[in-house]
Amino acid sequence: MNSWVASANGHPDFSLANLPYGVFSLQGGERRSGVAIGDEIYDLQVALDAGLFEGLALTAASAAIGGELNSFFALPREVRLALRERLIELLVEGSEETPAQQKICDRLLVAAAQCTLHVPARIQDYTDFYVGIHHAENVGKLFRPDNPLMPNYKYVPIGYHGRASTIVASGKPFVRPSGQIKLPDSDEPIHAPSRRLDYELEVGLWVGPGNVLGEPVDIANAREHIAGFCLLNDWSARDIQAWEYQPLGPFLSKSFASTISPWVVTPEALEPFRCAQPARPEGDPTPLPYLLDAEDQSTGAFDIALEVYILTPTMREKGVAPVRLSLSNTRNMYWTFAQMVAHHTVNGCQLNPGDLFGTGTLSGPDRNSMGSLLEMSEGGKHPVELPTGEMRTFLEDGDEIIIKARCSRDGFGSIGFGECRAVVLPAWGRTS
């Protein structure tokens, strides 16, 4: 379908088939809720004031406004779906409401390039999983060559609770973290800026309706608790992590910054790109009953291409375009999104609308599909060479990492996630 919003037609990310939700502001103004359509943002408050919604769509639009999407996420799926269906009716080419909308176009549509995009919801809790099996194997081999995967990995979706307060929207730079580092040739740790700063290629899951404390979410109903998806870069200080992670896991090595793409891509938009969960290798255990659902196994995975690019200061100075480091796919997930939800709540843990999950690094099986420099450089042993002749084992000040994702399939509009990008600033108190 084409849209009367011309820039949407053929748009690689935000065609009429997508319609992701987000929060934006203009020139320091108030935060508003909108929908990405081509190069524009459709202002939900203006559309609501113009009387363009009724019934369930009106309920959903009313919940979505106000500068954060938590109340919208909390709605049942059928109510959120009603708003999506109404937006398609409003934005499709030849819509009966097109003339009325065009009369208020100067207020209804805002150029995305003129807007600041924000974290779309108030995040109370953030959990990062470890469902990318190739990443788990690659990292495990660096530390345990003979036993890369721990015995529990194929039985349970591993995860840790992260820090919600440092999750920021794409485009916001972050400061290189400092912490305790134990150098290989030293008997005692030092306090210093991280020397082994890394990115992690991940997908984020936005929790929709929550659950009652003490009541697990059944695997068969887990999809009803998923409001949408985004891209996530869970920046990692590998040297701080190596010293601190035993016995309780990541702490300061992860909590300094996590960057997300600002648009919430809905499960409905991704429906044409569902696929079967890849078959487990022969000999792998069958998931325990609370993690196993036939429908989830046959349609619970997604075919989403994931890309990582780097732009260094030297590349900027020379006018060199960002170079791709990695091409991976969400099909490299060993556990599905529904299994992540079911496992997180199996002990009665309460999820709330707007909670965020990360998948963990989604690497592929070869070097060109690895989702972190730790893997690509094999712990710093084999630097990555860039077109400018620069070498990278880990990130340097001024480097910018850009993550993109896209779904494509014959007969369907392209679905993109927008960009998830950030620049590394020098450590606190340092200028370079």
pLDDT tens profile 11-59? 999 999 999 999 999 987 999 999 999 999 999 999 999 999 999 999 9
* Confidence (pLDDT) at 362: 98
Residue with tokens 């934006």: 24
Assess if CATH 3.90.850.10 describes domain 126-425: yes
User: Kind of pairing, strands 274-275 and 301-302?
Assistant: antiparallel
pLDDT < 50 regions, the chain? none
The verdict on whether residue 330 carries a ligand-binding annotation is: no
* Confidence (pLDDT) at 114: 96
Record the pTM: 0.97
- List phi, psi (to 5°) of 203: -115, 140
Q: How many CA within 13 A on the CB side of residue 72? A: 32
The verdict on whether residue 200 carries a ligand-binding annotation is: yes
Q: Measure Cα distances from 345 to 320, 338, 350, 420 in Å.
A: 47, 11, 7, 28
The verdict on whether residue 241 carries a ligand-binding annotation is: yes
Q: How many CA within 13 A on the CB side of residue 38? A: 16
Average pLDDT, the chain: 96
* Confidence (pLDDT) at 38: 98
The verdict on whether residue 128 carries a ligand-binding annotation is: yes
Give the number of other Cβ atoms within 10 Å of residue 346's Cβ. 16
161 near 355, Cβ under 8 Å?
A: no
CA 133, distance to chain mean position in Å, is 18
Superfamily for the 6-118 domain:
Fumarylacetoacetase, N-terminal domain (2.30.30.230)
Q: Where are the domains of the chain?
A: 6-118, 126-425
Two structure tokens written together for 70: 């938590």
129 near 360, Cβ under 8 Å?
A: yes
Backbone φ/ψ region at 28: left (φ over 0), alpha (ψ -120 to 50), beta: left
Q: Among the options 118, 134, 135, 225, which is catalytic?
A: 135
Q: Is 191 a catalytic residue?
A: no
The verdict on whether residue 245 carries a ligand-binding annotation is: yes
* Confidence (pLDDT) at 432: 61
* Confidence (pLDDT) at 28: 79
The verdict on whether residue 202 carries a ligand-binding annotation is: yes
The verdict on whether residue 199 carries a ligand-binding annotation is: no
What are 258's strand-pairing partners? Answer: 167
Give the number of other Cβ atoms within 10 Å of residue 176's Cβ. 21
Gap between the Cα atoms of 299 and 161, Å rounded = 28
